[in-house]
Structure formats: structure tokens, C-alpha cells
Amino acid sequence: MPNVLRWLGSAVKGIRSFGYRVPAGRPIVGVALGGGFARGIAHLGVLRVLQENEIPIDLLAGTSIGALVGAAYAAGTTLDELERQAIVTHFRDFGRWTISRMGMATNERLEGFLRRFTAVTTFEEMKIPFGIVATDIVTGHTVCFTKGPVGPPLRASCAYPGLFIPVEHQGHMLVDGFLTEHVPTESLRHMGADVIIAVHLDPGQPAQRPKNTIEVIGRAFSIVQEQTPPRWLRFSDIILEPVVKDIHWDDFQKTPELVAAGVAAAKAALPEIRELLKRPVPGIRSEREQTIQLPAAATATAAPAATAAPALAAEDIAAAPKAPLTPE
């Protein structure tokens, strides 16, 4: 029996290796899907345009709602099915109010919600190499999951601090990935992407006063982020920003408008994306087919956002989009 299990494991790895190859001379393209709760439905419009125009997606990574959309898409769920489900989604589908010192709700239902779309339960089964980004609330580090079960990392990436209880997984106490990678571009670079298409959902600055605890928390995070240029910007080759500012963070019924916003942003960026695909690749990769190899460890922990990497240049700071945060 042990020999059979080892053979099966090798067979699965072989299948993944065969499926995760990139033609010679073409850069490895990664798509980073940012957080934004219901506004993340705009990701479906972006993915549809890329798919219809045969823009390759060799790697995919998601934060928060981007992790949910990315997991379903990487597993092979059709965009039509994702749109049908999005418009009938409610908070009770993935969240349950509870009494806890660590949060007001649990998102344990999120794992069952994903099973509505796919029977895939591990990263190894994904049709597209995929990473989920969460934040270790103890260390302040990013944790990117690319191996093992999908459910716990997905819940962690969507565990908005103050609303959802943190998720304990693989020795980490985890919360929403937006705290360290609002758009998971840095994790995509570590996964091996040469060209990164970042999808950023900027909700703008709400004019009305916050009406409940969650909106107060969200506004507080927005104010903090406005004081610091976003780190994810430096790892992006092109940034798509669907116009979703007028749509409330939990308005899933606005699915058609959100998808249309994603479509418009992606279509406008197509010429620039096609130019990026012409970027030369280094050395022997220009002559031979490439095989994507994800990090060997189940988790890859990046340095804290406050200390890693050199400071942004003045021109980057001036150009950095401001991104007020809302519940993811």
C-alpha cells in the first residue's frame, strides 16, 4: 500500500507539471485579484475579457473576495456559473453571527459555499496554479498558501478583522490578507510570475457618516492606508481599476453592474496587456518550454510590509492610487 500511495502522489505531481507549462519565449503571466467584498464580482468581468481574448493566465492569486473568485475559477468553474451564484448571494451564505471576544461572526460556512461551485478541495487539484494570501495577525507577516487544503486559507483570507473571528491554521493566527497585500502582487512574484496584471477595487471615500460598527472599522482602515503608499504597487506591471465606487460593499444584487465595470476596465487595458506579452524572457527560457514550479513549502511568509524592500520613489508615491478599505 505505501508503494501505491507514493505512485499516486507522483502521478498527481506529473499531471500538474504537464498542465502547468508555458510556451518558450513567452513570459509567465500572473493575475492578482484584490479584496473588496461584493465589489469583487468585478473580477468576473476582468477574467471574462482575458479569457475571450486568449490572454494567458499562468498563475492566479487572490486576497479576500479575490481569493474566493480565484479559487472557484482556478478550479474550473465557468464564469457564467459564478455570475449566476453571485447575484443570489447573501451574508448568511458564508457568515454566521456569534458571541466571541475575537469577532462578531464566524465564516466557517465559507468552505461549504465554495463547494457550491466545485468539488476541488486542495491547491494541487487546481487547473491553474493558485495562491491565497492571508495575514498573520501575531507577526504582521503575509502568508501565501499554495499547497494543501483550500478551505482554511480561504476562510483566513476573508476574515475581516473585527467582523470575523481569526482562523487558526498551520501554526498561524490568520486574518484578512488585505492588511499586508490588498492586491497580492508580491506573492505572485514569489510564485514565479514575470508579468503581473493587478486588479484593484477602489471604493473611493464614502461621503456619508458610518452607520454601524463594521463601517467604523472600515473607515478607520481607510484612513490608516491613506497615510502610506500601497506596497503592492511596486510589483504590478499593469493595474486594472474597475469603477465600483458607487456600489455598497455588500450589494451582491448589483452583479450585472459590477461585471460590466470589470469588462470595461479590462477591455481598456487590452492593448497594454498585449504589449506586455511581448516582453522578452531571460536565458534558456526563451528557447525551451517552461514548467511552473510553485514554492515547495506549504506557506511562504514574506517580510513585514513596514520593513521589507526599499522605499518607493517620490514619483511612485505621487502616482500611488489611494485605496480606502471596506469589509472584504
Known active-site residue 222? no
Handedness of CA 142, 140, 167, 258 (dihedral sign): negative
Phi/psi for 311 (5° steps) reads -65, 150
Which residues, at least 6 apart from 280, have a Cβ–Cβ distance to it below 8 Å? 286
DSSP assignment of 60-81, as one string?
EEEETHHHHHHHHHHTT--HHH
Task: Return the axis-axis angle of helices 79-86 and 255-276, rounded to nearest 10°.
Answer: 150
Count Cβ atoms within 10 A of the Cβ of residue 191 and give its class: 0-12 exposed, 13-18 middle, 19 or more buried.
buried
Catalytic option among 64, 187, 222, 236: 64
Length of the chain: 328
Catalytic option among 58, 136, 157, 176: 176
Known active-site residue 176? yes
> Contact 90/80 with Cβ under 8 angstroms?
no
DSSP assigned state of 245: T
| CA distances in angstroms from 57 to 46, 48, 88, 92, 141, listed in the order given | 12, 12, 28, 32, 27
- List, by residue number, the catalytic residues: 64, 176
